[in-house]
């Protein structure tokens, strides 16, 4: 039976949802799932694995939240290139939990009308993780909405990879070395990003109280709005998400004008 606190929470959640004008909802939301280890320490969990599992369960809930209000594109950062410097004792359990998540994602994506893409540099990732990601992509189908998972991802590395692919493509076309610079501009670099056809993010959300992006969608976020949330990712609630969307729709986006 719901407690008085539960009833108040649900009432507040409904009020938040009604305050959001559906015409102003962002098309593309980026989110940084930060704070698993600090969550484990704060709540005295027996291992980081428990926090990772709580976080991935919350991620599945989060995806369902994006159906109302409907968000067309979600990009979630689950693993950075910097994270890969952590000891194996921390990384291996997280990889295991991600593999578990990827096995469940196809059903989730089909339920919520999502296509699934993974972005990042996979050459440093364990084979079991990459295999699970590729299988999830293949099994998720072609939804009208898009879920992108950034894994082994770094914003600077994405730009380096884009420029490298651009230059290699120009060389393959026979463009002389002394003319390469004439073909490098913002449009051609952007065309070689991991998923160039998607719109730039409108709002980027980071949990755990950190007020920085750490390179997330570095190229694409030039005019994104930022929302920093104090709670650790496993404790992120739908009201936190709705507050972030409400704050976004209230802002006057001037795009540098």
Give the CA-trace dihedral at 51, 52, 57, 58, to 10 degrees.
70
Enumerate residues 6+ apart whose C-beta is below 8 A from 39. 45, 51, 54, 55, 232, 233, 234, 235
| Catalytic hit among 6, 50, 72, 83 | 83
Q: Using alpha carbons only, give the angle 41, 45, 50 rounded to the nearest 5 degrees.
A: 110
Label residues 172-200 b or e (16+ Cβ within 10 Å = b): eeeeeeeeeeeeeeeeebeebbbeeebeb
Maximum distance among all alpha carbons in the chain?
A: 73
Cα distances from 124 to residues 70, 84, 128, 250, in angstroms, run: 34, 8, 12, 41
Q: Is 161 a catalytic residue?
A: no
Euclidean distance between CA atoms 155 and 141, whole angstroms = 27
- The domain segmentation of the chain, as residue ranges, is 117-133+153-166+188-225
Instruction: Mark whether 34 is an active-site residue.
Output: yes
Tokens of 154: 């770094």
3-state secondary structure 214-249: CCCCCCCCCCCEEEECCCCHHHCCHHHHHHHHHHHH
Instruction: Let me know if 211 is exposed, middle or buried by CB neighbors in 10 A (0-12, 13-18, 19+).
Output: exposed
C-alpha–C-alpha distance, residues 190 and 12, integer Å: 41
44-236-104 Cα angle (round to 5) = 90
pLDDT at 256: 62
Tens of each residue's pLDDT in the chain, 257 residues:
778 788 888 999 999 999 999 999 999 999 999 999 999 999 999 999 999 999 999 999 999 999 999 999 999 999 999 999 999 999 999 999 999 999 999 999 999 999 999 999 999 999 999 999 999 999 998 999 999 999 999 999 999 999 999 999 999 999 999 999 999 999 999 999 999 998 999 999 999 999 999 999 999 999 999 999 999 999 999 999 999 999 999 987 776 65
Token pair listed for 205: 């959300």
Given 34, 192, 202, 240, which residue is catalytic?
34
Q: How many residues does the chain have?
A: 257
Please give the model's pTM, rounded to 2 decimal places.
0.94
213 three-class SS: coil
Separation CA 137–CA 108 (nearest Å): 12
pLDDT score, position 51? 97
- Return the beta strands (E) in the chain as ranges: 28-32, 73-80, 114-119, 145-153, 203-206, 225-228
């Amino acid at each position: 039976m719901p407690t008085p606190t539960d009833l108040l929470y649900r009432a507040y959640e409904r009020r938040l949802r009604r305050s959001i004008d559906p015409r102003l909802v962002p098309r593309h939301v980026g989110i940084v799932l930060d704070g698993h280890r600090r969550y484990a320490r704060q709540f005295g969990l027996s291992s980081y694995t428990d926090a990772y599992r709580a976080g991935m369960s919350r991620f599945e809930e989060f995806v369902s939240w994006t159906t109302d209000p409907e968000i067309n594109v979600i990009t979630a950062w689950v693993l950075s290139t910097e994270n890969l410097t952590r000891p194996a004792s921390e990384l291996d359990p997280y990889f295991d939990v991600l593999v578990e998540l990827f096995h469940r994602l196809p059903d989730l994506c089909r339920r919520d009308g999502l296509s699934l893409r993974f972005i990042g540099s996979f050459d440093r990732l364990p084979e079991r993780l990459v295999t699970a990601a590729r299988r999830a992509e293949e099994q998720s189908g072609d939804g009208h909405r898009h879920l992108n998972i950034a894994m082994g991802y770094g914003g600077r590395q994405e730009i380096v990879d884009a420029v490298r692919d651009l230059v290699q493509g120009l060389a393959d076309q026979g463009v002389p070395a002394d003319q390469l610079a004439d073909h490098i501009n913002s449009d051609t670099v952007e065309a070689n990003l991991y998923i160039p056809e998607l719109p730039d993010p409108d709002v980027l959300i980071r949990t755990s109280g950190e007020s920085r992006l750490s390179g997330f969608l570095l190229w694409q976020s030039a005019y994104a709005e930022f929302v920093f949330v104090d709670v650790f990712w496993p404790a992120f609630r739908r009201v936190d998400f709705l507050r972030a969307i409400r704050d976004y729709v209230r802002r006057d986006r001037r795009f540098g004008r």
